[in-house]
Amino acid sequence: MFSSEEMRLRGQNGGFHTLFTPNLSFHTKINIDETPDYNFKRIAKLDTYTHGGKVRNLLSATRELKKMSSTVHLPNPIRESAMLLYRKALKRDLIRGRSITGMICACLYYACRNHKSPISFQELVKESFTNARRIMNFYQLLVKEFELKVPPLEPTLFVSRFINELQLSIEIEKRVLCVLKNLPFNFINGKEPKSLIAAIIYSIGKKEKIKITQKTLAKITGTCEVSIRYKAKEIEKFL
């Protein structure tokens, strides 16, 4: 047991650090006015400018990440993974000359893929107000530079989300998952997951006489009606 004085001396001051804290390390502040050497003053000043630039960059990046992830309702593990990847990119000087918002969007997209979150690339691009091709270039740069392993985007990730948004029953969700399980790999491979799920839901709804319009499905799933019609014709033989 420690006395109150011993507990006070052993106590730690300040809040805990997270990946969203701009400066995770301690920084030695040099009093330039009390340093007689001119060259040392110059080096200390340059060090201050460099350190300050990275902190300002992280402040802007943290603000953008929190705003974007809050809009699409991303959990903390995905936010932390994206912030960690952004810090690595900043340390390797990959952010210089590139958009902070675009790079944050690319980091979030990889974190969503890595954590198997049902958030599409188009949804993140919409919230970033940045060119989609530029963000994809940033994403490919991160994958190549850090040799990241990108897991495939599984269609099953979107089933529960779309069923809830369409307010359909759990039985329909089970039917969709059953159809997905029975589809051959060659049929699923290379197809856009969202349009595939939309086509399965439309085909099952048509068979069970549930009124689901192609327009409603296209709006909720973020696909086009032509893709739903085309894929629904192919899926009908597997029902």
DSSP collapsed to 3 states, 72-109: CCCCHHHHHHHHHHHHHHHHCCCCCCCCHHHHHHHHHH
Residues 160-204 have pLDDT tens digits of: 989 999 999 999 999 999 998 888 888 888 788 888 999 999 999
pLDDT of residue 186: 82
Inside any domain, residue 139: yes
Report if residue 21 sits inside a domain: no
Q: Per-residue pLDDT tens for 197-232?
A: 999 999 999 888 888 889 999 989 888 999 899 988
Per-residue CA distances from 216 to 7, 137, 202, 204, 220 (Å) = 63, 32, 10, 15, 6
In a domain, 10, yes or no: no
Kindly state whether residues 36 and 142 are assigned to the same domain.
yes
- 203: DSSP letter: H
Is the pTM for the entire model greater than 0.85? no
Please indicate, yes or no, whether residues 36 and 123 belong to a single structural domain of this protein. yes
Q: Which residues contact 91 (CB under 8 A, 6 or more apart)?
A: none
| Rounded-to-integer distance, Cα 192 and Cα 190, Å | 7
pLDDT band (50, 70, 90) for residue 16: low
Across residues 15-41, what is the average pLDDT? 61
Domain end among 91, 122, 146:
146
pLDDT at 137: 95
What average pLDDT does the structure give for the chain?
84
Q: To the nearest 10°, the Cα dihedral for 78, 84, 90, 94?
A: -60
Residues 141, 36 within the same domain = yes
> Domain limits at 186?
155-238
In terms of domains, do 160 and 128 share one?
no
* CA atoms of 85 and 166, how far apart (whole Å): 35
122-149 average pLDDT score? 92
Q: Do both 68 and 131 map to the same domain?
A: yes
Alpha-carbon span 64 to 59, nearest angstrom: 9
Residues 6+ apart with CB under 8 A from 93: none
124 lies in some domain: yes
* pLDDT number for residue 23: 59
Of 146, 176, 207, which closes a domain?
Answer: 146
CATH of the domain at 115: 1.10.472.10
Q: How many domains in the chain?
A: 2
Same domain, 120 and 192: no
Q: How does DSSP assign 10-72, residue by residue?
A: H---SPPP-TTSS--S--PPP-GGG---HHHHHHHHHHHHHHHHHHHHHHHHHHHHHHHHHHT
Co-location of 65 and 134 in the same domain: yes
Per-residue tokens: 76: 């903390």
Residue 188 confidence (pLDDT):
84
Any domain includes 1:
no
pLDDT tens, residue by residue, 142-171: 999 999 998 888 888 889 989 999 999 999
Among 146, 166, 187, where does a domain finish? 146
Q: Does 66 reside within a domain?
A: yes
Residues 140 and 195 in one domain: no
Same domain, 132 and 190: no
What does the radius of gyration of the chain's CA atoms come to, in whole angstroms?
25
174 shares a domain with 213: yes
Sign of the CA dihedral with 69 first, then 160, 206, and 227 last: positive
Residues 36 and 141 in one domain: yes
Do 75 and 95 fall into the same domain? Answer: yes
Provide the angle, in degrees to the nearest 10, between the axes of the packed helices 225-235 and 193-207: 60
Q: What is the pLDDT of residues 70-113, one digit of tens each?
A: 999 999 999 999 999 999 999 999 999 999 999 999 999 999 99
Please tell me the predicted confidence (pLDDT) of residue 46: 66
Question: Given this model, what pLDDT does residue 42 score?
Answer: 73
* Residue 47 clears pLDDT 80, i.e. is over it: no
Dist. CA 112–CA 106, nearest whole Å: 10
Determine, yes or no, domain membership for 73.
yes
**CA 5: distance to chain centroid?**
47
